[in-house]
Amino acid sequence: MPVRHEIKSQLAKLLATEDLIVENKKVETAEFNVHTRVLTLPLWDRASNNVYDMLVGHEVGHALYTPDTEWFLERKISQQFVNIVEDVRIEKLIKRRYPGLSKTFFNAYNELSDNDFFDVQGKDLDEMNLADRINLYFKIGNFVDIDFSIEEMIYVNKVDSCETFEEVLDAAEELYNYCKEQMEQQETIAPTEGTGENEGSVEVNGEMNDSDEEATEEVDMDYQPKSADNGPVIEDFENMTGGNGAGEENIDEEPEVETVKSLDEALKNLVTSTGADSTYFELPEVYLDKLIVPNDFIYNRCQEEWKSTEEAYKNSHFYQENPHLIKTGDEIFENIDGEFFKFKKSAQKEVNYLVKEFEMKKSAGAYARATTARTGILDTAKLHTYKFNEDLFKKVSIIPDGKNHGLVFVLDWSGSMHQVMLDTLKQLYNLLWFCKKVQIPFDVYAFTNEFPYGDMTENGQRWEIYKKEKNKADFPDWFSLMHLFTSSTRSKELENQMKDIFRVVGAMDNQIHTNYNIPQEMRLSGTPLNEAIVCLHQILPKFKNQHNLQKVQCVILTDGEAQPMKINKEVHRPWEEDPYLGTVYTSRNTFLRDRKTGNTYSMDKEWYEQTDILIQNLKDNLPDMNIIGIRLLSSRDAGQFIRRYSGYGTDLNNKLMSDWKKNKSVAIKNSSYDSWFGLLSSALSSDDEFNVNDDATKMQIKRAFIKSLKNKKMNKKILGEFIELVA
């Protein structure tokens, strides 16, 4: 059974009782950075679950109990010996804290012993030095026989009794000095004279070296391992060789712990060596003031464009010869403005339906939350029942005040929306008029890659909208959020702004004839939906605090998948001295890491599923807010959309497909959205008024009536479910 690394990461966090940043990477050894609190674990894919859990528990023990001190500056002790004693202490403490780990450690070391990870099979353990035997005793002593003399038991007990790191250093120093003394005594007893071809040489570790040459190499005694970002790290479980410590002059003259090297090499064989390494990235903080195009700026820009359109009419050669045909001011927008006011009038019934449903749901919610409490005042009408009734106090019903609501809308401004943009805008306007009528604060943003708002650098580039750093999500250079509408504007001004956007969108519709231009920046673009979701991490809390709201809903209206995200990655190009910060797409070995929640999300998904991951991350950060999706679908796309969340041939799939065929709409409940509404895009533009010609036949009247009922049924079903979420 393959190891699920992210589950093991959660195990590490639970054991550490903190949101450690856990990275599973293709490295040989584990390490823990005490400053950044990042625990890096190798991909021990060849390890069993018992061994993996034991290794994770061991590393968490270091994270919890090994202090961040530079002991090697004051103590001249081999790091190997410190590691041996510290391993005994932290394993004792972690098992004391979590008694259930004792069985895990027992089973894991049993497995390591059976597979000879310490390379002791066929060897005489009595011939090993004391440090090796102590290491074996505390790790696999339950499975091999290890003998100690009375003198040696003093050191065994000292190692076993360590409770603090200072005691570890003392015990390690005594153990090191004892082993060195024993080694020197053996060298004194060993023969030092040779004959023949070996005369003038000494034997060191089984090899013959000339006595007048250096038999060893110099070792840096102040060496300490560093993490990738040069922060201090705690020595890991398998990397216990770590050099021979400060103050050592010759590696051949120092006592070594052979079992440490053996375990180190054996554990490296558990690490996967194939495939790409894991990449962890985070979402950046964005500069909202640089990427949000202000509400007033948009409409000033529209007026500038339309003023230039009027000037173009006046200056054209055709109209100079035919001045009676010149259109000025609102005459240019006569047709499209007429469409706007006609729609506004027809939408009132739907808006009133929303208001009625909202007030009913809100009243029902308040009634459900009503409570009955004792007043502390005696009810004289019950005094005569005192012998058999303990409840003699007056009661009062408490009905809590309704909650303050708020809505944030995010509109897809991509090129694929041009066929349904006007109909989508109409649905949005229904919701805005509803909010205005029940006095719910709202904001509407549209995401685009075409609006280069903000200051420019000297070379014509836009100022950064976020701080570019390695392993952070990347944003397109011209990404912006157009702040189309806000409840903060006055009613008359809001209506004029809605009329202006209706003009802009009307010019995009092929079925409406217009003869005016729209600002170049407001033309449709790509689909940076994922980037817009990242911005919601800052927009939604700001909106909630600004209006002092208790309940905030976010509604995302789109017709398709978002474009894939990129991440900033540092690469070293051979022709450059400094590293280059480029971008790459997320891949199957990429993980989104959230330091605020401590969650990690695997991007081992199809590219179109990134949005679900980002929505889930947004909800994890803002658990008190609902994220609602409205997906506009063509008939041919509906089946694929439904199957993504219900599978093939399942009961859920059959139910959702039945809903779709019956109502031309569907509500998905098992996506990252709180509710993911799918609507037939062509049905949005259907007129639900019961209109027939004067000379219509009975059959024509019947068909028109049935069509009207179907459209009303679809609208009321979806709008009813929407109200349940926002009420």
Mean pLDDT in runs of 10 for the chain (727 residues)? Answer: 58 68 74 73 76 84 83 81 92 91 91 88 88 92 91 93 93 91 77 47 42 40 42 45 40 74 81 71 92 92 84 67 61 85 85 78 53 59 65 55 78 89 87 88 94 68 83 90 94 93 87 80 91 96 92 89 88 85 86 84 85 94 91 86 89 91 86 88 57 58 51 54 65
Which residue stretches of 548-608 are H helix? none
* Tokens found for residue 582: 């480029």
| Cα end-to-end distance, the chain, whole Å | 46
Kindly compute the dihedral angle of the four CA atoms of residues 429, 501, 633, 476, in this order, to the nearest 10 degrees: -120
- Nearest residue to 629 (alpha-carbon basis) of 532, 503, 526: 532
CB atoms within 10 A of CB 67: 10
Distance, CA of 554 to CA of 463 (rounded, Å) = 28
* Tokens found for residue 606: 């199809």
Strands 279-281 and 473-474: unpaired
Count of residues in the chain: 727
* Tokens found for residue 516: 């005016």
Beta-sheet strands, E only, within 76-143: none
Task: Identify the residue whose tokens are 């950075």.
Answer: 33
- Nearest residue to 101 (alpha-carbon basis) of 64, 128, 71, 126: 64
* Tokens found for residue 572: 């070293």
What is the model's pLDDT at position 692?
Answer: 47
- HSE-up of residue 641 (Cα within 13 Å, Cβ side): 26
pTM of the model: 0.69
* Percent helix, strand and coil across the chain, each to the nearest 5: 45, 15, 35
Distance, CA of 367 to CA of 364 (rounded, Å) = 5
What is the model's pLDDT at position 198?
Answer: 45
Query: What are the boundaries of each domain within the chain?
Result: 5-187+217-277, 288-363+402-577+608-633
Element (H, E) at 637: helix 635-646
* Tokens found for residue 538: 């800052």
- Nearest residue to 678 (alpha-carbon basis) of 725, 608, 631: 631
Distance, CA of 58 to CA of 641 (rounded, Å) = 46
* Tokens found for residue 634: 């063509």
What is the model's pLDDT at position 403?
Answer: 59
**DSSP SS3 for 25:** strand
* Tokens found for residue 578: 């400094």
Helices (H) and strands (E) in the chain, counts: 21, 22
Domain spanning 288-363+402-577+608-633: CATH 3.20.20.70 = no
What is the model's pLDDT at position 389?
Answer: 67
Over its C-alpha atoms, the chain yields an Rg (Å, rounded) of 37
* DSSP code, position 294: P
- Nearest residue to 532 (alpha-carbon basis) of 465, 479, 471: 479
What is the model's pLDDT at position 235?
Answer: 46
